[in-house]
Amino acid sequence: MKPAKTDHIDIHEYDHPTGGWGSAQSLLRNASGQGLLVSDIWPTMLRHNKAGGYMCVSCSWAKPANAHPFEFCENGAKATFWEQTTRRCDPSFFERHSVTELLDWPDHDLELQGRLTQPMRYDPASDRYRPVAWADAFRDIAAELKALEPNSVVFYTSGRAALETSFMYQLFARIYGSPNLPDSSNMCHESTSVGLPESIGSPVGTVQIEDYDLCDMMFFFGHNTGVNSPRLLHPLQEARKRGVKVVTFNPLLERGLQRFKNPQDPRDMLSPGPGTQMSSDYFQIRSGGDIAAMTGIAKGVLALDDAAIGSGAPRVLDVDFIAEHTDGFARFEAFVRETEWTDIEARSGLSRADLEGVAVAYAAADKVIGNYGMGLTQHRNGTDNVHMLCNLLLMRGNIGKPGAGISPIRGHSNVQGQRTVGITEKPDLAPLDTFAKRYGFEPPRHEGRATVETCEGVIDGSVRGFIGLGGNFARAVPETGKVEEAWRRLRLHVEVATKLNRTHLLPGEVTYLLPCLSRLERDVQETGEQWLSIEDSTACIHGSLGLREAPSPDLLPEPRIVGELAKATVGGRSTVPWDEWMADYARVRDEIEHCYPDDFRDFNERFRQPGGFHRDIDACKRIWKTESGKANFLAPSGLEADPDVDTPAADALTLITIRSNDQFNTTVYGYHDRLRGIHGTRMVLLMNADDIARLGLREGQDVSLESSAGDGVPRRVDGLRVTPFAIPRGNCAGYYPELNPLVPLWHHEKKAKVPAAKSVPVRIAR
Ligand SMILES: Nc1nc2c(c(=O)[nH]1)N[C@H]1C(S)=C(S)[C@@H](COP(=O)(O)OP(=O)(O)OC[C@H]3O[C@@H](n4cnc5c(=O)[nH]c(N)nc54)[C@H](O)[C@@H]3O)O[C@H]1N2
Ligand SMILES: Nc1nc2c(c(=O)[nH]1)N[C@H]1C(S)=C(S)[C@@H](COP(=O)(O)OP(=O)(O)OC[C@H]3O[C@@H](n4cnc5c(=O)[nH]c(N)nc54)[C@H](O)[C@@H]3O)O[C@H]1N2
Ligand SMILES: [Mo]
């Protein structure tokens, strides 16, 4: 791929808060880039994240019942404009450009072509996508699927498709006979989905939006809130004004967790000050140093508790809670006491005094929320990270009470919900017996392929068919070089998508690109206008009603595409009435309620209420669905982030792959990472100034990075600009997905298999 055209590279420190006027300017630039007028976008934005409106297609952060008149943020609005674009990627575009030619285009330019307008089939003779009728596409794909061995077909989901679509999709895959249901979660919060049940017996967090108004302290571990869940800055700002302590651990100084001005608050915008200070304490931890840091804080808490026992003061540990509700405290305590401060300091890069200071603040707080993101989950020991944050919270009874809890901040807008309704490769996580009985078929009972196994299967040829319900799979995964090369050997490649991306340019022998409506758009079926639903990061279910006209008359809604494919492929093989479901999504909601009665009681009656309805999460009520029946303290095996990489060579660096303020995953809106002061290019390598000097480099120099994973596999990315940045020595950072070719496929979380994208072993190529 050619590097993106860069008109003007400008890198300088950004001296303004998150939000503020910079945010407003960025939005205007974005809207006009999509050919949108203010009069056009206003009516839409007023129904953003509101009861009776549509739910944002960007992040999964909670949608409060008492919504602000403008319940959106800079990045939610950008995502909405990007989808509403007046541009169209129609058959004439594909007539002008061959697929091989398009492979040279940067990600940004591909999606910039606008919304896909017609179903297309790849024609190998002309190397072009050509229009095809929907009926022919469904018939042909079904015939291909029937000829393939179901175990060799993968059904991927990216995290946007609604609960109704996702439920239908997983049933389709299972009736067909494939348990291969990976989703973007496998690259994201799978460490949470594996780690939390072991600790507290629930795969999702325990915090609701109201808890942010009640807490008196918060931790932020490895989440870039100002960019990736900006609406969370609003409750956070309110909390800071109440004097709540916010303690942040992040290798990079991220502006959103430093300073914020609320663009929706005129007083904030017009005041000359620097904005609200969002973190009371900000610690630039070394990548992968979180277990060490949390062990240090726990050590500090134990020391304070020892002192309290000595002086007869009230205990610092919540001993009653620990006795009644937990298991494994003694083992955990032994681990913490035995771990030396010198190791903690070396591994975390933080001082004993600082960590003991955090322990003092933690011991003084009654209600504490532990927030976290990819900085904890995308590591070799991501589940240990999750366990460790639970341990820290459990020490003082901070799970299962108002104002406290654990808050994994999810990614895609319905990624959590997809899991709830059966998108999983693990047979134990779906109610297979209920499916079998209700729909009269025998689902596969063995474990299917998650993302890493899918990549392995594409490379070794055991995966023959791939259906993508959204996403940009081949671009988002590790080892992209090898995966792309092998992709062409697939027999069948089908993508359901809104916009063109790089994965679509990797044809198999038979390849279809099926364009769908987005959630913003009206969906009218035989029984009238259709609602969809999603689950947010705090386990609240919301209705969503599209209001925009479809960008092309030839688009179909996702439930119809899934239903028609299912009908054509497995029509007579179950009792599922696909036609009735496609005609009335309320019928699908009734089925979801039947299969998941505890989570979706009175689904159709409740899902449109403001603020959504909360799924009953046992851990919130201190009911622990673990083997021990208690919340478990789980000690990590050690402090190392990456037990399998030997002591790194002197020139090795640990690469953190990050998102800019101008992207949503592989969707690159533009080249302005305003909050980090990087404009005009994404090909940067952020480095500590001492490392730049130590390695004999200079600012602005063009370098190549190569893998230092020690497995002999060549991996390399060229054309990176050395850029000094506030980052710990030995760490460096650059953008995802450009740097994905450097992530080894085996370099993933031990149990959850999330690619360890925050600790990639690299060196400067000489
Ligand atoms: N605008 C926008 N919104 C998004 C997305 C987007 O791309 N754009 N993506 C969506 C998705 S799918 C997801 S999963 C979320 C992702 O949201 P986040 O979880 O915020 O993910 P990242 O931006 O990848 O990185 C998180 C932070 O972790 C820090 N970090 C890296 N390594 C470590 C470490 O070892 N320890 C600690 N403590 N911190 C570390 C990084 O410096 C970075 O600030 O956002 C969602 N929302
Ligand atoms: N190195 C590195 N790699 C990473 C990460 C990282 O931090 N570092 N993060 C990982 C994470 S957290 C995630 S979640 C994955 C993301 O991986 P994916 O979810 O696979 O990727 P996206 O970029 O979100 O997918 C964008 C595409 O989705 C399609 N799309 C958008 N809206 C819709 C819709 O409504 N319906 C349909 N059918 N299609 C739609 C569009 O065609 C668009 O091009 O990447 C992972 N990869
Ligand atoms: Mo994600």
Give the position, in ligand 2's atom list, of the atom nearest the Cα of 667.
23
Q: Is 659 in the pocket of ligand 1 (CB under 6 A)?
A: yes
Ligand nearest to the CA of 757: 2
Look at residues 657, 763, 636 and name the one whose alpha carbon lies nearest to residue 710. Answer: 763
Ligand 2 lined by 471 (C-beta under 6 Å): yes
Asked if pLDDT for residue 71 goes beyond 90, the answer is no
- Is the minimum distance from the CB of 223 to ligand 1 under 6 angstroms? yes
By the 10 Å C-beta count (0-12 exposed, 13-18 middle, 19+ buried), 729 is classed as middle
Give pLDDT tens digits for 663-720: 999 999 999 999 999 999 999 999 999 999 999 999 999 999 999 998 999 999 999 9
**How many degrees, rounded to 5, is the angle at CA 682 between CA 676 and CA 683?**
120
Average pLDDT of span 540-565: 96
Ligand 1 atom with the smallest distance to the CA of 409 is 19
What values do phi and psi take at 307, rounded to 5?
A: -65, -40
Per-residue exposure over 673-695, b if at least 16 CB sit within 10 Å of its own CB, e if not: bbbbbbbbbbbbbbbbeebbeeb
| AA identity, residue 281 | D
The Cα–Cα gap between 653 and 762 comes to 5
Distance CA 654, CA 644 (A): 14
Using a 6 Å cutoff on CB, does residue 110 contact ligand 2? no
Residue closest to 263 by CA, chosen among 14, 68, 50: 68
C-alpha of residue 637 to centroid of ligand 2, in Å: 32
Q: For residue 83, which atom of ligand 2 is closest to its CA?
A: 32
In this structure, what DSSP letter does residue 554 have? T
Give 411 Cα–ligand 2 centroid separation in angstroms: 10
Provide the pLDDT for residue 6: 61
Q: 455: pLDDT confidence band, cut at 50, 70 and 90?
A: very high
Picking from 373, 350, 381, the residue whose alpha carbon sits closest to that of residue 645 is: 381
Average pLDDT over residues 621-626: 97
Residue 254 Cβ inside 6 Å of ligand 1? The answer reads: yes
How many A from CA of 331 to the centre of ligand 3? Answer: 33
Q: Mind listing the pLDDT tens digit for each residue in 7-58?
A: 688 888 888 887 777 777 887 888 888 888 877 777 788 888 888 889 989 8
Task: Report the 3 state secondary structure along 84-130.
Answer: HCCCEECHHHHHHCCHHHHCCCCHHHHHHCCEECCCEEEECCCCEEE
Question: What's the whole-number mean pLDDT along residues 166-192?
Answer: 98
**Tell me: the pLDDT tens digits for 465-502?**
999 999 999 999 999 999 999 999 999 999 999 999 99
Tell whether ligand 1 has an atom less than 6 A from the beta carbon of residue 191. no
CB of 376 within 6 A of ligand 2: the answer is no
Closest residue to atom 40 of ligand 1, CA basis: 375
Ligand 2 pocket: which of 473, 499, 665, 740 to mutate (most atoms <8 Å of CB)?
665
Lowest mean pLDDT among 256-270, 525-539, 737-751: 256-270
CA-CA distance, 650 to 666, in Å (whole number)? 32
Residue 667 alpha carbon, nearest atom of ligand 1: 7
Q: Provide the CB-side half-sphere exposure for 484 (13 A, CA).
A: 17
DSSP state of 640: -
CA–CA separation, 305 and 363 (whole Å): 9
Residues whose CB falls within 8 Å of the CB of residue 666, separated by 6 or more in sequence, listed in order: 107, 472, 475, 476, 501, 502, 736, 737
Longest dimension (CA), the chain: 84
Tell me, letter by letter, the H, E, C secondary structure of 486-498: HHCCCCEEEEEEC
Answer yes or no: is the C-beta of 61 below 6 A from any ligand 1 atom.
no
Q: Is the distance from CB of 419 to CB of 185 less than 8 angstroms?
A: yes
Q: What is the pTM of this model?
A: 0.96
Find the 188 Cα to ligand 3 centroid distance in Å: 4
What pLDDT shows up at residue 2?
Answer: 65
Task: Using alpha carbons, list the distances in angstroms from residue 485 to 474, 480, 705.
Answer: 10, 8, 21
Chain mean pLDDT for the chain: 94
| Ligand 1, pocket-test mutation among 659, 661, 673, most atoms within 8 A of CB | 659
pLDDT given for residue 189 in this prediction? 97
The verdict on the CB of residue 556 being under 6 Å from ligand 1 is: no
- Mark 262-274 as b/e (b = at least 16 C-beta within 10 Å): bbeeeebbeeeee
Rounded-to-integer distance, Cα 232 and Cα 212, Å: 9
Structure confidence by residue, pLDDT tens digits, 362-378: 999 999 999 999 999 99
Range 153-158 average pLDDT? 98
Helix (H) or strand (E) holding 279: none
pLDDT number for residue 450: 97
422 contacts: CB under 8 Å, gap ≥ 6: 166, 167, 170, 171, 181, 430, 431, 435, 595
Within 10 Å of residue 609's Cβ, how many Cβ atoms? 14
| CB-based contact 450:753 (threshold 8 Å) | yes
pLDDT, tens only, 274-311:
788 889 999 999 999 999 999 999 999 999 999 999 99
Q: How confident is the model at residue 69 (pLDDT cuts 50, 70, 90)?
A: confident
If DSSP codes are grouped into helix, strand and coil, which group holds residue 644? coil
Q: Which amino acid is at 660?
A: S
Ligand nearest to the CA of 755: 2
- Give dist(CA 295, CA 283) in Å, integer: 15
What are the backbone dihedrals phi and psi of residue 679, each rounded to the nearest 5 degrees, phi first? -125, 140
Instruction: Kindly list the distances between the CA atom of residue 68 and the CA atoms of 20, 71, 119, 639, in Å, as whole numbers in the listed order.
Output: 17, 5, 39, 43
- Report, as an integer, the average pLDDT of 535-563: 96
Is there an atom of ligand 2 within 6 Å of 666 CB?
Answer: yes
Query: Mean pLDDT lowest for which of 261-265, 284-288, 754-758?
Result: 261-265
Secondary structure letter of residue 642 according to DSSP: -
Question: Who surrounds ion ligand 3 at CB < 5 A?
Answer: 188, 411
Name the token pair of 506.
């990797």
C-alpha dist (Å) from residue 514 to 164, 185, 497, 562, 654: 19, 23, 6, 11, 39
- pLDDT value for 5: 59
Question: What pairing do the DSSP bridges indicate for beta strands 217-221 and 245-249?
Answer: parallel
373 Cα to the center of ligand 1, angstroms: 6
Ordered DSSP codes for 342-388: HHHHHHH---HHHHHHHHHHHHH-SSEEEEE-HHHHSSTTHHHHHHH
Q: Which distant-in-sequence residues (6+ apart) come within 8 Å of 609 by Cβ?
A: 51, 65
Ligand 1, residue 378: give the atom nearest the CA: 32
Q: Is the CB of 191 under 6 A from ligand 2?
A: no
| Calpha distance 258→236 (Å, rounded) | 11
Q: Distance from the CA of 403 to the center of ligand 2, in angstroms?
A: 32
**Token pair in block for residue 261:** 């001005």
411 lines ligand 2 (CB under 6 A): yes
- DSSP string across 683-705: -EEEE-HHHHHHTT--TT-EEEE
Nearest CA to ligand 1 atom 7: 664
Give the Cα separation of 417 and 412 in Å (integer): 10
CA distance 591 to 585: 10
Q: Distance, CA 658 to ligand 1 centroid (Å)? A: 6
Q: Find the radius of gyration of the CA atoms of the chain.
A: 25
Q: Band of the pLDDT at 645, cuts 50, 70, 90?
A: low
Q: Are 170 and 517 in contact (CB under 8 A)?
A: no
Q: Are strands 524-525 and 760-764 parallel, antiparallel or unpaired?
A: unpaired
The runs of H, that is alpha helices, within 155-288 are 163-176, 190-200, 211-214, 225-228, 233-241, 266-270
Is the shortest distance between the CB of 226 and ligand 1 below 6 Å? no
- 536 secondary structure, DSSP code: -
Asked if the peptide bond before residue 737 counts as cis, ω within 30 degrees of 0, the response is: yes
Q: Would you say residue 646 has pLDDT above 60? A: no
The DSSP secondary-structure symbol of 184 reads: G
* pLDDT tens readout for residues 561-619: 999 999 999 999 999 999 999 999 999 999 999 999 999 999 999 999 998 999 989 99
Mutate to test the pocket of ligand 2, among 158, 191, 735, 738 (most ligand atoms within 8 A of CB): 158
